[in-house]
Structure 1
């Protein structure tokens, strides 16, 4: 019996590959044989940071579909209409929904594609089957299964980063797990919590912990003098325009580096100005009252972290040695937990590509050579395609893998798959605009 060949296998089912599922369904008339494998038991996107009141940093029109297809039934506006909140949202006069509401929008969209997703399924290997197809090895319920596909789209997301030598544990967390860790401790009343970092997630964690635990001292530790505001002004935001990807991709290496550095303050280690003002307001009010519970340890760095145990009550804790950088003065902070808001990094696609990766081209830096359509360049004769949704900053720029570009990026990937299918295997097209189902 001949094994079915999928047109597309998606690795991961976060917002990027969810948008891909929509684009495949809409732009190709629903005739694509696509399946997605996701390790999580259900759809979820940064659940550990769904802080009540925290808002998105992107305009609601930069949803999964609108910049590609404004008439899509899967837009954020369509979601609001389906939920009976469209008029209420308009009256709210905001362009930035809460993160909780946007996550509900993502779940609402994901539910429509539940039949194409295999949850609790982890892709563990990719290897060429022949010049036109790849074998995708999936671990599911402790069993291995193999699928054949003409194209793979990797949307595995980012991985959290902790400083060298720091390991997550009962009292050392990354902000990715903030709410999850707190949910494990109902009724908890910590004496002191320390948040390390100066970006948006750090500031949100500080605000939330300070608000949630009214008897707890919350210390913010970072090397800057203060939180730096994100540049979301109209002209700066042009770095997130679709044509900016074209400009970046075509630029020389020197110009790429220049553009990236110029644009860092739109996305990295920056904080919404309203949140900065709110934290400063609280810190100043506590100084006036003479009871400082929100402590900002700026121009400082955590030098060492050790586990300690209180001799009297036997309760565990941590001792963080914090150095003040200008003078070298060291302060010991005994804390119930340290929360690291030290960001994320792109996953190395070659960790997953395995044998297939030996047929992919790399640059002098060891990173994949990317074509403009987000396909990894392969050696001659290899017609199967591996596309990346993420890990493309080096080739496509700072905005290429962000939510702002998701709708446009997935449209470009779908267009590439269709064009290549028509060129490599004309029989794959059943009729104009519709990919043939797996053979």
Structure 2
């Protein structure tokens, strides 16, 4: 990383902070735009996408078209298909006839794209931010020291952090016998060595870890899966439900009162946090085969919450409660995997910007329909708007759409064509005298 990239005489049009898939997409879609000068900073030394869950055979829950660029510009050179062509793997992928890339394959694609983006810089940590005279000044730390980066706009893509329930004491978490799925791969050998292994959580990550452990479970071991959800529910993936990952549903959701949005979000977790139905069937088949062979040292508990966790007689003691009948009971484990998901955490430097950042009465970010959290629309966010835009926020397939909106907003004109309507169904009540159109509509460059 050269010092000239931190020249204080240069004012970028936008600086993205964080280089996960969404801000990589921002850099990729900004790259061919004439005159648009952007920089993306990432504190990690190299790109890594969920390395703790890079398990053999696991795959995305979205098709390959949910890459960085295709849904905004199918001809873009940093598409997933172009990555396959460049690496000599296009025909094997074609012959495989499967729309869903392996997770390792997708990570390889993201690393390939990052290496081809001159605007992306790793090992650069943003420690502080200031605003004066229409310009943001960022204190950026890297191996060469502290530099000042100046920009007219910020695009925050700092991502989410592992969520650990309050019922898990810090001292127990630090014992080494408990690991969040974000660190599962490196801790797998230690976790799998326990005589009694527990997995707590729902969703795809919990199922993948459970299946991984079940595949190598010995007859003298016991594996338990506990989920607070009322059942081991599948990801809802029917076509009319998929239409809710659409601009018009975001319009509808964003226009609702915040209390209604929160209530809807609580009910919609199955739309993006469920388990792939094929994996559920695979787990059942694995259990069935074990039953036939006489070895089923497994317990599955739905509608059961983790109320507390402690140590007793050298083992972990899980305090559980059934959500249906209210009964409390304990179970014992030697090792525990927390598949409890992730939560958004604001970057510390955001506090430096004070009143420039719009907030809801409860302190959460007040994200407008165009993904801005400032009155001047000069601070924009990626995947920090679940509470204002709905479950499309973490959806990889909507990343290119959101980046198209953000880039068009930065430019002040429609460089990228942006879909306004993609579905057959309508959401919410129609305005008097204006029936919903029945055909997809675009706005922007090619409308």
Alpha-carbon distance between aligned partners in 2 of 1:368 and 1:21, rounded to the nearest angstrom? 23
Aligned twin of 2:372: 375
Aligned twin of 2:361: 364
| Kept after mapping to 2: 8 A contact 1:192/1:218 | yes
Alpha-carbon distance between aligned partners in 1 of 2:157 and 2:301, rounded to the nearest angstrom? 37
Pick from 14, 18, 22 the counterpart of residue 16 of structure 1: 22
For residues 371-391 of structure 1, what are the alpha-carbon distances to aligned partners after superposition, in whole Å with 9 as ceiling and x for unaligned? 32212132xxxx571110021
For residues 107-132 of structure 1, what are the alpha-carbon distances to aligned partners after superposition, in whole Å with 9 as ceiling and x for unaligned? 1111101x4333222212211132x1
Change over 3 Å in CA distance of 1:368–1:306 after alignment to 2? closer
Pick from 272, 277, 281 the counterpart of residue 277 of structure 1: 281
Aligned twin of 1:428: none
SS in 2 for 1:235: helix
Alpha-carbon distance between aligned partners in 2 of 1:298 and 1:3, rounded to the nearest angstrom? 59
| Kept after mapping to 1: 8 A contact 2:12/2:38 | yes
SS in 2 for 1:16: helix
Pick from 336, 339, 352 the counterpart of residue 338 of structure 1: 336
Q: Does 1:227 align with 2:225?
A: no
Give 1:217-366 correspondences, 5 Å limit: 217-253=222-258, 256-257=261-262, 259-261=264-266, 263-268=268-273, 270-308=274-312, 317-324=315-322, 326=325, 328=327, 330-335=329-334, 337-348=335-346, 351-366=348-363
Aligned twin of 1:314: none
For residues 304-341 of structure 1, what are the alpha-carbon distances to aligned partners after superposition, in whole Å with 9 as ceiling and x for unaligned? 3223565xxxxxx4333444553735243131x21111
| Kept after mapping to 2: 8 A contact 1:9/1:35 | yes
- So what's the TM-score if we normalise by structure 1? 0.84
Give 1:5-404 correspondences, 5 Å limit: 5-26=11-32, 28-29=33-34, 31-113=35-117, 115-130=118-133, 132-141=134-143, 143-166=145-168, 167=170, 168-169=173-174, 170-182=176-188, 185=190, 189-214=193-218, 216-253=221-258, 256-257=261-262, 259-261=264-266, 263-268=268-273, 270-308=274-312, 317-324=315-322, 326=325, 328=327, 330-335=329-334, 337-348=335-346, 351-378=348-375, 383=376, 385-404=378-397
Post-superposition offset of 1:80: 1.4
SS in 2 for 1:375: coil
Change over 3 Å in CA distance of 1:177–1:290 after alignment to 2? same
SS in 1 for 2:239: coil
Give the unaligned 5+ runs of structure 1: 311-316, 421-432, 434-439
Post-superposition offset of 1:251: 3.8
- So what's the TM-score if we normalise by structure 2? 0.83
| Kept after mapping to 1: 8 A contact 2:22/2:382 | yes
SS in 2 for 1:240: coil
For residues 240-262 of structure 1, what are the alpha-carbon distances to aligned partners after superposition, in whole Å with 9 as ceiling and x for unaligned? 12332233233444664565455
Higher RCO, 1 or 2 (CA under 8 Å, sep at least 6)?
1
Aligned twin of 2:425: none
Give the unaligned 5+ runs of structure 2: 1-6, 414-444
> How many residues in Structure 1 have an aligned counterpart in Structure 2?
404
Change over 3 Å in CA distance of 1:291–1:322 after alignment to 2? farther
Post-superposition offset of 1:104: 0.8
Alpha-carbon distance between aligned partners in 1 of 2:135 and 2:37, rounded to the nearest angstrom? 14
SS in 1 for 2:354: helix
| Kept after mapping to 1: 8 A contact 2:167/2:309 | no
